[in-house]
Every structure is written in C-alpha cells, then in structure tokens.
Amino acid sequence: MVGDRERGTRRRPVRAVALAACGVVLLAGCASMPDTGDLRDVESTPRQDTQVRVFAMPPREDAAPGEIVQGFLEALTSDDQNYDTARKYLTTEVARKWRPEQSTTVLANGPSTDVITPAGGRADRGEDRGDVTYALVGSRVATVDAQQAYSPAEGQYSQQVHLGQDVKTGQWRIDRLPQGIVMGKSDFQRNYASVNKYYFASNTSAGATGQALAVADPVFVRKFVDPMTQMVRSLIGGPTRWLGPVVRSSFPTGSALKEGVSGLAPDDHNRVTVPLNAKASRAGSAKCAEMATQLLFTLRNLTPTVDSVELRAPSGRNLCVLTEDRADVEARHGSEKRPDYVYFLDGKHRLVRMAAGNSSSTSAVQVPGAMGEDGTQLRSVAVSRDEHTAAGVGLDGRYLYVTSLASGSSLGDPVVQSRGATADDRLTTPSWDAHGDLWVADRDPGAPRLLLLPQGAGRPVEVRTSELPGRIKEVRAAADGVRIALVVEKDGKQSLLIGRIERDEKAGEPPVVSVVELRSAIPRMEVVTAMAWAGDSRIVVGGREEGGVLQMRYVQVDGATPDGPAPAALPGVRAVAAAESDQVPLMAYSDDGIVRLSAGAQWQTVVKEGSAPVYPG
C-alpha cells in the first residue's frame, strides 16, 4: 500500500478502494464511492478495518517507468483473483511465466523502489536507452511459501525488476522480475487470514476411545478471493511440509476438486457441497466419512456457521453427507471439548478444583484421592484430558507422582526422580496429551532430559532432542500428541519453541520418541514466564520481547500473530492455564493469587492463596 512504501518515485493514483459493508448505523467510518472526479490514493489501510477492499488499476497510456513499478506493487495488494491487473504491467512473455503463488514476502514497511545507477556511473534512469532497473528493498518480516505456510523471517530484502520500452508502442513494461509477490505487513494483514486445515495424527489416537485425533495445520489464504475454495484445494493438496511426517489425509492420491469448481459457499441450510474428481470419488464409505470430517473441521474454522458437508462425484452423485455430530464421532477435535473443571493448588499445596466456565464462582473443593488430602504438598500438577488421573510434582521438585482422581486412591511411589541440586533444577510441570501419555522435563544441569511416560505409567522413555539450543524450562504437549511447546533457556534468556513429535513403535520394544524440527514461535522473545495451549494452533504466552515490557499475548504455532485482541496485562504472572476450547476463561497465577479472565472482562481474583492453575492437559 501507499502507507507501506517509501515514495522513491513520483506516483499517480493506481487503485480504487471500496468499503464492502457500510451499514446505516455505522455512518462514521464508511464512505460512498463517488461517481465523478478522479481516483485518489489511499494513504494507509488501518489494520482494524477488515472491510476495506482494494481494486487495482491497469497502467495508463504512456506511463513512466516509475509509475509502472509502483502500479505493479500496488496491484499485488489488490483482490484480483489471478493477479490479472498486475500482469498488465508485465510484458506478455513474462506475464505468462510469472508465478505469484510461489511465495509471498512480507516486509516491515513495504518495498522502497530505487533506480539502480548504470555501470558507467551515470545517474540517469536509463530511459534514453530504452531500459531501466529498479531495486526493491525492505526489511523482511515473514514469508509464505507455495503451500501457504507462514514462517517468520529476518534480514534485508533486495530484488530487482527490469523494465524495457516497446519499440513499436513506446510503452514501458516489466520484462524481468523475481517469482512470487512482495508487500508490506499492513497490506498482508488486510489481504490474508490464518485458517486451520485439518488432518489426522498418524500414530496416535484418543486414549481408550480409539478415535482419530484431528491436527490443525495453519495456512494463510487471501481473505477476499474465494477463501472457501482456496481452503478446500489446500486441504486436498495435503499437509504442509513441517507437519506432513506425522499426519495423514484420507483423500486418495490424485484427489482434487472437480475441474472448474469455484465459489464454494454454504447454502441456506448451512451445508457446503463439494464436487470432487474421479480419483477422490473412488473412496469407500468409511474413507468418505473421514474426508468429509476433514472438510467440515476445516470449513468450520473458516465459517463457523457451516454444520454439514456433502461430497459429490463428477457426475453429481452423492458420495456421503456428514453433520457436525457425526464428525465428533469420527475424530476428536480438541477445541470442541469443554473441560469440566479447572484445577490449582491451594494455600496448603493440595490439589483443588472448581467448575470450568463459571464466571461467578470463587470457591474450590479438594479433589478426591491422595492429591487432595491434607499433608500432600505439591509444587505443580497436570490432570489427564479425561479428568480421571492426575500427575503431581512434590514441593521440592524432586519426585513425580501419578494417581487416580478417585476417593481412596494413594499417592504411591514416585514414577520419576530428579537429582538436581535445587527445586528450580529439578522437574518441570508435567503435561498430558490426548493419547494419554505424560510428558515432563528434568532440568538437572548435569543430566537434562525430556521424558515420556506412556499412558502415565511404566518405565519413562527418554525423548531424543538433539536440536535443543538450551535447557528445557517448561513443557506443554498439544492435545493431538504430535506437537509440543517447549520453553528453552540459555545464558539467562528463554525462547518458546514448537517441535514435531515423531514415534517409532515396534511390538515388544520400547518406543523411540523424538522431538524434531524445532522452530521459534516468537523469534524476538527473551523472557517467557508462562505459556499454555489456547486452541488447536494457538498458544497464550506471558513474557517480554527484546527491549519490551512484560505482557500477555497469543501466538500461532507458525510464528504468526493471530487476529483479535491480546489478553489484558497481568503484573507478576508466573503461570497461565488455558483450554483448547474458547468457552472457558483464562486462569493465571500472579501477584494477586489465582485470577480469571472471562471474555470481555478484566482479570478477576478467584482466591488469594493458591498457585499452579491448570486445565486438563
């Protein structure tokens, strides 16, 4: 956008902007489209105004080279489905070979345009020679690859575009440019939205139920360019490279939408009909139900009102219909399950609980069994996702216990012991995944390790973590059992990393478990005081970035910042609890004790004496 780029060249208006939803009651902030007069530049697009639509303008007759470059960059930020207007700034041959979908480079302030001085040292623009080269320069923020996967990026961006003047028409056009597109951060936020598509965990299922576990795979789609069809194509095309090794898709190889399909949208009954090609339509009824489950979870993430999906063969024959109730039987979807209770330690270090989602209750009761009894003193806890079992670390951090949340249960012998010299050098808060496995890290500087206890029992398995850049400070396993969030500390600084969990299990042998391809969720973070999963691909974090102040924020597992407001500031936060479901409030342990944050409210003190709040997981 204009506000994203330095004005290195003189420009003319190159696009029109329309406000797509100007209601009568929203007179301030909406404008009508004039039917006379010249088009004018839009100097910037405020981030919060998601209704702004941008329509590119083609090059005017006899446009100068600088206008061509600026017009092309403006057209990249428009809502053209196939960048048809942007291609008008290119020569015919280059327009045919250009692949804008190959990548999107996001810059902090958009690309500045500078004329490259010719080799002879002349400062002219080369217009007398019939050619000119411009440098596009900026500071990189992120990239989105051909699979629509987002990755944070740093460093300088510098690419060149070359223009030539047609000898017959005298018109300037771009005849050499890099593949992909480039735009500023504010344009990217206006044009793109992060949406989860869903696959199934390859080697895990949901505990005793045996359900497939749905795994979110976040990608970025263009908001105003047929996003539902984009998402269906992306889903059928397969998972992103990072997630691919640990998930499966039920769509047969070669599956695709029926040729020519576009404009997918829910009908009056909130059903989306998806016409598939011949290869996809050969799947049996069981596979068809799984395919429809993937589609429904994905489309509901984009448009929550969708409640059923119908798959059709190329002939129009119905293959299967799946409703949201049936989808919950086919697979477990973490964000759809609301926990019964929130748990924490009271002033006597016993495990207590209160009903989840009750915004008025401030009373907690001791849990049944040993962890709620007088005399039991705990430092941290984790409750299994079925809320039948609890794992607790003793007050000195040395021992990990696992016991039933049932009356009469005993604490039993510890299942893990740390030999660290101090409590802070011993065991982290444990964490359960939906498969029923228990995770914990030993922070002993002499023997740091990440451990997995299959089904929370038996001999601990030491997890391979060869890529760790420091010592693990905190561990949170995702519900899907294939991703894990780690706070890693080195030289007094902490970073939040997301790893992929890979398992090699053979009958009669201990499983081989590895955490691989660690990537940073917040590259500039240097202090992390608290974190928890807060959705299928979202984490809530308390911490401080370089040169910043302590704050609470949400981050995506791919490093992107999700839409929506951040949690209200909370002084002295030491721990935070969140659920995959957004139907329950955030809980935290801070200077004010155990506090709660409900939607649209401020932090409220629940109890003064308490610590270590957790939801199941």
CA distance 274 to 269: 15
Q: What is the DSSP letter of 37?
A: S
So what's the architecture of 335-614 in CATH?
Answer: 6 Propeller (2.120)
**Antiparallel, parallel or unpaired: β 104-107 and 181-184:** parallel
Q: Token pair of 183, please? A: 């735009």
12: pLDDT confidence band, cut at 50, 70 and 90? very low
The better pLDDT of the pair 207, 320 is held by: 320
CA distance 357 to 360: 9
Quick one: average pLDDT of 510-523?
Answer: 93
CA distance 270 to 300: 10
pLDDT digits (tens, 9 = 90+) for 149-208: 999 999 999 999 999 999 999 999 999 999 999 999 999 999 999 999 999 999 776 655
CA distance 476 to 544: 19
pLDDT of residue 582: 80
Mean pLDDT, the chain, rounded, equals 88
Please, what is the angle between helix 285-302 and helix 227-237, to 10°? 140
pLDDT digits (tens, 9 = 90+) for 329-366: 899 886 567 899 999 999 999 999 999 876 677 789 99
Q: Is the pTM of this model over 0.85?
A: yes
Strand partners, 107: 140, 184
The helix or strand, by DSSP H or E, that contains position 532, with its residue range, turns out to be strand 525-533
Is residue 50's pLDDT more than 60? no
CA distance 135 to 116: 6
Burial-class residue 480 by CB neighbours within 10 Å (0-12, 13-18, 19+). Answer: buried
pLDDT of residue 335: 59
Return the closest-CA partner of residue 584 out of 600, 605, 599, 563.
Answer: 599
pLDDT of residue 358: 65
123: pLDDT confidence band, cut at 50, 70 and 90? very low
The better pLDDT of the pair 41, 550 is held by: 550
Are the CB atoms for 543 and 550 separated by under 8 Å? yes
CATH 2.120.10.30 residue window(s) in the chain: 335-614
Is residue 419's pLDDT more than 70? yes
pLDDT of residue 21: 37
